[in-house]
């Protein structure tokens, strides 16, 4: 199963993915794999891939890696900005068990949080290019408590994925 968590920088994607991972392990002993966008860029040494084309290439790398791991029986959590609806649609089409989670956050809150300093650096390309999910399976805004988000995602995982 692939759980694809998408949203703008500062939406809480990694926080949610880590909390879901802990919950799955504590409740059922399930081991999952977390593919975090920041960590993956460091591992793949692609910090320079900030162009539109470079970001799309990386998104497909993450999608194909998640698919390969899922096909081997792993529950894969992907936490990336995931700017491209095309890539998310590809992931949905190529994974038998796919759950798309959209974390919605307004611009004012993104600018307030700004965990990577993107707004201070005036790197607004992500905002301009981000394609909001058309049909996410779950959608949370910043007012939804983390515990509620985790519970919803874990329930959907347990309904869809039996290791």
Which are the catalytic amino acids?
82
Closest CA to 37 of 84, 92, 89: 84
Cα 108 from Cα 92, distance rounded (Å): 31
Cα 143 from Cα 79, distance rounded (Å): 19
Cα 56 from Cα 134, distance rounded (Å): 18
**Cβ-contact 75, 161 below 8 angstroms:** yes
**Cβ-contact 16, 151 below 8 angstroms:** no
């Amino acid at each position: 199963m692939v759980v694809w968590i998408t949203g703008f920088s500062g939406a809480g994607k990694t926080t949610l993915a880590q909390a879901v991972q802990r919950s799955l392990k504590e409740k059922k002993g399930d081991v999952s794999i977390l593919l975090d966008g920041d960590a993956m860029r460091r591992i793949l040494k692609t910090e320079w891939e900030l162009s539109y084309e470079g970001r799309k290439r990386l998104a497909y790398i993450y999608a194909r890696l998640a698919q390969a791991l899922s096909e081997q029986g792993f529950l894969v959590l992907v936490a990336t900005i995931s700017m491209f609806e095309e890539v998310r649609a590809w992931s949905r089409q190529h994974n038998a068990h796919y759950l798309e989670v959209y974390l919605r956050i307004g611009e004012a809150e993104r600018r307030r949080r700004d965990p990577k300093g993107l707004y201070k650096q005036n790197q607004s390309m992500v905002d301009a290019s981000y394609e909001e999910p058309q049909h996410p399976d779950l959608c949370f805004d910043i007012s939804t408590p983390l515990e509620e988000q985790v519970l919803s995602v874990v329930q959907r995982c347990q309904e869809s994925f039996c290791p």
